[in-house]
């Protein structure tokens, strides 16, 4: 289905990768690695900025011009960095969704460490 979607919209494979996999695991990766709550229906309405060392440095709402300005400033700063920061905290965080306080639904699956290098099925 994802390949059909990509073909329908002429997605450039050098720029776009469409992934699928076990949804509870994908939700955990989104929440724990990217600090971005994920719902089963719909796309996120924020950009996640990740530095060149793989650390999440901020979440910015695409529809808030002031946050886009902050994101541009952060990107300029990150591009100039030559060493990893001692601690990288997110600059802005999206509002939690209904449910628990962090907007991430709990999974009943056992909590095993997330290997950020583990590929998700294409």
Domain boundaries, the chain: 2-80
Is 58 buried (19+), middle (13-18) or exposed (0-12) by CB count in 10 A?
buried
pTM above 0.75, yes or no: no
pLDDT over 90 (residue 117)? no
Q: What is the pLDDT of residues 26-36, one digit of tens each?
A: 888 888 887 77
Report CA torsion sign: 50, 96, 117, 42: negative
- Give yes or no for a contact between 74 and 58, defined as CB atoms under 8 angstroms apart: yes
Question: How do residues 65-112 score in pLDDT, each as one tens digit?
Answer: 999 999 999 999 999 999 988 864 544 444 544 443 344 444 444 455
How far separated are the first and last CA of the chain, in Å rounded? 11
């Amino acid at each position: 289905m994802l390949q059909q979607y990509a073909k329908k919209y002429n997605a450039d494979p050098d720029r776009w990768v469409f992934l699928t996999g076990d949804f509870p695991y994908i939700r955990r990766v989104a929440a724990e690695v990217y600090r971005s709550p994920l719902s089963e229906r719909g796309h996120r309405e924020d950009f996640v900025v990740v530095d060149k060392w793989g650390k999440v440095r901020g979440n910015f709402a695409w529809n808030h011009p002031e946050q886009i300005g902050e994101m541009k400033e952060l990107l300029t700063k990150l591009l100039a960095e030559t060493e990893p920061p001692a601690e990288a905290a997110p600059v802005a965080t999206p509002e939690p969704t209904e449910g628990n306080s962090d907007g991430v639904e709990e999974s009943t699956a056992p909590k095993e460490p997330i290997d950020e290098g583990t590929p998700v099925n294409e």
